Structure 1
């Protein structure tokens, strides 16, 4: 297993981590198979999504904020980040990504993202062969 560190700079953002994960795949010596890319956080998720057009990440964050607005009047969680927990639940905190030829086997437009919903923070992402 390899642990990656990702610094986020905003409360909500999508950070491309594909190159970091590919580096972990190389260091782990995985030629063929798959890796689990996992966030051990309850307010940050991992997803595979289009990475060529930054408007896609913007639109995803916008829609997730509409589904789970910050400081909803019915929220009981005292930390004030119930929206971040719900957004992470919707996105998920892990992805299994195939590895072919020692690299992530992603589609033409796909990237691996850490989705930050309660930053800025220093986040950890685990990369494990599966």
Structure 2
């Protein structure tokens, strides 16, 4: 197993960052010829998703997620959390991450990550700006 982190410094509260090229480079670096690659975020207010890399589609996804988890809804999570000693102000981040998921998988065949022509890997920030870590896990032979 070959594991390599990607550190991302997000700039805004909500953003989508392409990771496809970085993941492909890590797969090549791993030396695995046949296997699987998993991309996994380590944070509960971020997501990893696969979609077509089009600016207009990114905008549509952001609008869709905002409609699904509006900022002005009276969420139960938006309250004082004794364990943290502060008020939770990020319920929409958790819900958007729940919708997008926290990982994706792709097969590796003959040393190449196999994906559809329009499939790109996105890291999604829903509670930024922040320093984030994504793990790229390559398994195989």
TM superposition score normalised by structure 1: 0.91
Matches within 5 A, 1:56-75: 56-75=57-76
Matches within 5 A, 1:26-105: 26-51=28-53, 53-77=54-78, 78-105=87-114
> 2:127 corresponds to which residue?
118
> 3-state SS of the aligned residue for 1:65?
helix
| 2: CA distance, partners of 1:113 / 1:40 | 14
CA deviations 1:26-79 (Å, max 9, x no partner) are 12112222111000100001011001x211111111101110012422343332
> 2:23 aligned to 21, 27, 33, which one?
21
Structure 2 gaps, min length 5: 79-86
TM superposition score normalised by structure 2: 0.85
User: Which segments of structure 1 move beyond 4 Å, counting only runs of 4 or more?
Assistant: none
> 2:116 corresponds to which residue?
107
> How much is the aligned-residue C-alpha RMSD, in angstroms?
1.4
CA deviations 1:1-48 (Å, max 9, x no partner) are 111112211111110000111111112112222111000100001011
CA deviations 1:74-102 (Å, max 9, x no partner) are 34333211000000011110111122332
Does structure 2 conserve the Cα–Cα contact (< 8 Å) formed by 1:71 and 1:81?
Answer: no
Does structure 2 conserve the Cα–Cα contact (< 8 Å) formed by 1:71 and 1:83?
Answer: no
